Amino acid sequence: MDQEKVGRFIAQRRKNKKLTQQELAEKLGVSEKAISNWENGRNMPDVSLYKALCDILDISIEELINGEKKRHRSPKNSRNKVITGLCIVIIVLFVILSHFWQKFDIYSIEVSGINEAEVIKVATNKTRDIYYYGIDNVNLCNSDGKCHELKSALKKEKTLDSLNNFLKSQYDLGNLEKYIVYDGGTAIYRSSRFTTIVCNTLDGNHDMYFGGPNMAEFLDGEYCGYSKQKIKKFVRTYHILNVDKSEAKNFSEVTLIDNKNNSETVKINSKYDLEVGKYYEFTFTTRKIYTDTISNIFTYSHITSISETDRIGNNQRNDIISANQYEDNVSDLNELDDVTMTIKDGTLTNSEAVIVINDSSDMNNVYGAWFRIDKKINGEYQELKTTGEEYAFNSMAYMVDENNILEMKAFWKVMYGELESGEYRLVKEVDGKYFSVEFII
């Protein structure tokens, strides 16, 4: 196949159709650079685009491969040419489809088009469904400007591996924001151009969602098989005392103080250009219930925006964290009558366990997914510090069965990492009261 000849042919047919490179690119859902690369013979269009490209240029796939319009020949010669052409097409398709995906190196994700703001299933890959929200198209592009439409790309597991590796690498480089939803390890990646949700729930949901930069907020928790759950939003004002950017590549060590004169040093993404001496309003979202401290806020909540403010003194914003229906109270543990919790035999590891709640109280108690882990240190239990990853619990409600039993998996590796040897307890809550089960690793 003569790429330069094919490129000149594409350029000629495009001009005959009175289309610019940009107009052709928009029709195919690729970049203008990709069209330029084709026409200059630097690379070929992706096979998934052949039919659409040929329809637009009013040519056949055989003519595209040969780089010229088909000449009229005698029936016998024409039949031979057709057979030859089909053989060429089959061989080319086989070679490209056999090797393309293993070698496809993702350089960028391009989101195009805007549709109605709703979730649309666009593809299925084994145990995984692919959804778009508010967009028409997603293309995966390599460094040469060669792009492939996502719906076709995700038919190959190799591409899924490449996509996940690309998202992780972009987060490591500071080009994407990332936070983990505590449901097994669902990851939400966000840039100024797109959001990708990679589901990984305890229930085995591995769906993927693609949309604009605010997709996660608009979906409001209604993804990865969950029904809608409200994200709680609140605003706090902080005075910046010090900013140290030397500790980490993507984060700054920021010392700040709230309107109650509580001071703390926290890690904040370096993309927020905070200046010492100024006041800023931080907008947070959370699903987690926690004690209201600066450290907990920056550990268990997600920053959605930071803006400079002239509010000082009594005018500072200090919203109540509406997700906090109660605060952790160690002294109130195990005060429930007729409610006990144990760990199911054979399920305890340093990463997770299955807990068994026995509730014979006839109170119709409703249990959430929330829990925490305390470790016994010097004879007293203290809540473990988290890994620093952002996460949230799902808001599903659970009740005991007809035998007064409820089994739930507690996967704490995302929150705390793997537990070291020691004495621990797992704490849960129902109706504002706490109960626990002790265990040893």
| Domain match, 238 and 215 both | no
| Domain match, 159 and 211 both | yes
Chain-centre distance of CA 152, in angstroms?
20
Q: Which pLDDT value is given to residue 315?
A: 79
Q: Which pLDDT value is given to residue 3?
A: 79
Asked if residue 427 is part of any domain, the answer here is: yes
Per DSSP, 285 falls in state E
Task: Look at residues 179, 107, 97 and name the one whose alpha carbon lies nearest to residue 143.
Answer: 107
Judged against a pLDDT cut of 50, whether residue 331 lies above it is answered with no
Asked if residue 274 is part of any domain, the answer here is: yes
Asked if residue 273 is part of any domain, the answer here is: yes
pLDDT digits (tens, 9 = 90+) for 227-278: 655 557 789 999 999 998 765 566 788 999 998 889 999 988 887 889 999 9
Q: Which of 100, 131, 156 is the last residue of a domain?
A: 100
Domain count, the chain: 4
Residue of 137 and 431 predicted with greater confidence: 137
Q: Which pLDDT value is given to residue 311?
A: 84
Pull the structure tokens for residue 25.
């690119």
CA gap 349, 332 in Å, rounded: 27
Q: Which pLDDT value is given to residue 355?
A: 95
CA gap 265, 252 in Å, rounded: 10
| Domain match, 246 and 291 both | yes
Chain-centre distance of CA 162, in angstroms?
15
| Domain match, 338 and 433 both | yes
Query: Sorting pLDDT into bands at 50, 70 and 90, what band is 438?
Result: very high
What residue numbers bound the domain in which 339 lies?
Answer: 330-440
Asked if residue 320 is part of any domain, the answer here is: no
The pTM (predicted TM-score) of the whole model is: 0.40
Question: What's the per-residue H, E or C state across 50-89?
Answer: HHHHHHHHCCCHHHHHHCCCCCCCCHHHHHHHHHHHHHHH
| Domain match, 353 and 433 both | yes
Pull the structure tokens for residue 181.
């939803």
Judged against a pLDDT cut of 70, whether residue 293 lies above it is answered with yes
Q: Which of 48, 66, 100 is the last residue of a domain?
A: 100
Q: What is the mean pLDDT of residues 198-212?
A: 85
Domain containing residue 250: CATH number: 2.40.50.140
Pull the structure tokens for residue 255.
């010392």
Instruction: Considering only CA atoms, give the Rg of the chain.
Output: 28
pLDDT digits (tens, 9 = 90+) for 97-144: 444 444 557 878 888 777 667 888 888 877 788 899 988 888 888 777
Domain containing residue 358: CATH number: 2.60.40
Asked if residue 307 is part of any domain, the answer here is: yes
Judged against a pLDDT cut of 70, whether residue 389 lies above it is answered with no
Q: Which pLDDT value is given to residue 421?
A: 93
Q: Which pLDDT value is given to residue 342?
A: 93
Q: Which of 285, 315, 345 is the last residue of a domain?
A: 315
CA gap 211, 215 in Å, rounded: 6
Pull the structure tokens for residue 70.
């088909």
CA gap 35, 44 in Å, rounded: 9
* Helix ranges restricted to H, 197-320: 215-219, 294-300
* Helix ranges restricted to H, 3-156: 3-16, 21-28, 32-39, 50-57, 61-66, 75-103, 150-153
Q: Which pLDDT value is given to residue 391?
A: 62
Residue 225: CB atoms within 10 A of its CB come to: 15
Judged against a pLDDT cut of 90, whether residue 26 lies above it is answered with no
| Domain match, 188 and 244 both | no
Task: Look at residues 171, 154, 251 and name the one whose alpha carbon lies nearest to residue 206.
Answer: 154
CA gap 82, 76 in Å, rounded: 10
Asked if residue 226 is part of any domain, the answer here is: no
Residue of 156 and 280 predicted with greater confidence: 280
Q: Which pLDDT value is given to residue 286?
A: 77
Domain containing residue 21: CATH number: 1.10.260.40
